[in-house]
Amino acid sequence: MNHETPTAPAHQAKADSPADRPAPVIAISGLSKRYDSGFEALKQIDLEIQRGEIFALLGPNGAGKTTLISIICGLVNATGGSVVIDGHDSVTDYRAARAKIGLVPQELTSDAFETVWNTVRFSRGLFGKPPKDSHIEQVLKALSLWDKRKNKLITLSGGMKRRVLIAKALAHEPEILFLDEPTAGVDVGLRRDMWEVVRELRNSGVTIILTTHYIEEAEEMADRIGVINGGEIVLVREKAALMRQLGSKQLTLHLQTPLASVPPALSHHPLTLAEDGNVLVYTYDASEAGDSDHVSISALINEIEAAGIRFKDLHTKQSSLEDIFVNLVRERP
């Protein structure tokens, strides 16, 4: 197929110079979707997925997670923007692009009267791969479905059906796997098993994008976390960086008399005033609290008292990923 080589759009240039970073396995730029009803599901999404990572897309219901995945996988037509999958445009070069992708949908859909073996075999053929029973055997064994291979899908439990959908998505040996809410309605044991499977896949080089609204899942699995809300990506960060942010604590002092400004004697501390000077807030890193060069809370309080500031109450608060998430999502109704 004779299509233009995708060039990096101007608005991607703000990322650190492309030369020292490996090319992303998925490059989404300016992607938007307006449904016929007028509903704007996606607003100018820019996102890059790195090869071999586990990327968790977090967001409340109706945020646009499934629409985004559906456009990448070819189930929904975008209104604007582009998706480039490993150098192949998802519209003009859809064969090469889609061949690399496996999709596990959110809904438990299945051909009720088909057997596990046949349905997985069908998936492989659909993606144009010649039959390779040894691969299908391996996939079924990895997902503990081997014993069920002759069962009709209608006889399987919900958790088993979920595994079958994963097996179908893996039947054609994809390089990129999309898991849309993989553990919704799945019991704890099966969820752990599934996480294990996902990790093994990542270790074998498969890039994994999962959507979830379980923060625990993102925390457990992901290398990077993206938060989507109201059709916009509101945050993309390394999980490790997020976890550090998670470690930040706040000490809040409710003052007896309001202050106009932080006294100069205390200006070398990260102190801020809030609520018209009635509250003094000290932000610090909990993980460093034990370090020798770190100002201890008691020393700080002594200094504050020495500066003549009296307070009537104090409390400390540690933000969790959930707080970060809730704040991000609440800001944009």
Partner 1 sequence: MNLQAVRSIYTFEMARAGRTLLQSLISPVISTSLYFVVFGAAIGSRIQEVEGVSYGAFIVPGLIMLMLLTQSVSNASFGIFFPKFTGTIYEVLSAPISYFEIVLGYVGAAASKSAILGLVILGTANFFVDLHIQHPFMMMLFLLLTALTFSLLGFIIGIWADSFEKLQLVPLLIITPLTFLGGSFYSIDMLPPFWQAVTLANPVVYLVSGFRWSFYGISDVSVIASLVMIGVFLAVSLAVISWIFRTGYRLRP
Give the binding site for partner 1 (CB under 8 A): 35-36, 73-77, 94-99, 101, 103, 105, 107, 109-113, 118, 122-123, 125-130, 168
Q: Measured from the CB atom, is 85 or 242 closer to partner 1?
A: 85
Q: Are strands 176-180 and 101-104 parallel, antiparallel or unpaired?
A: parallel
Q: Measured from the CB atom, is 75 or 307 closer to partner 1?
A: 75
Q: Measured from the CB atom, is 122 or 244 closer to partner 1?
A: 122
Least gap, CB of 114 to partner 1 (angstroms): 8
Residues 88 and 101: their CA atoms lie apart, in Å, by 12
Residues 192 and 308: their CA atoms lie apart, in Å, by 54
Q: Measured from the CB atom, is 161 or 249 closer to partner 1?
A: 161
Q: Measured from the CB atom, is 145 or 255 closer to partner 1?
A: 145
Least gap, CB of 110 to partner 1 (angstroms): 7
Q: Measured from the CB atom, is 116 or 227 closer to partner 1?
A: 116
CA 274 vs CA 259, 282, 311: distances in Å: 10, 11, 14
Least gap, CB of 77 to partner 1 (angstroms): 5
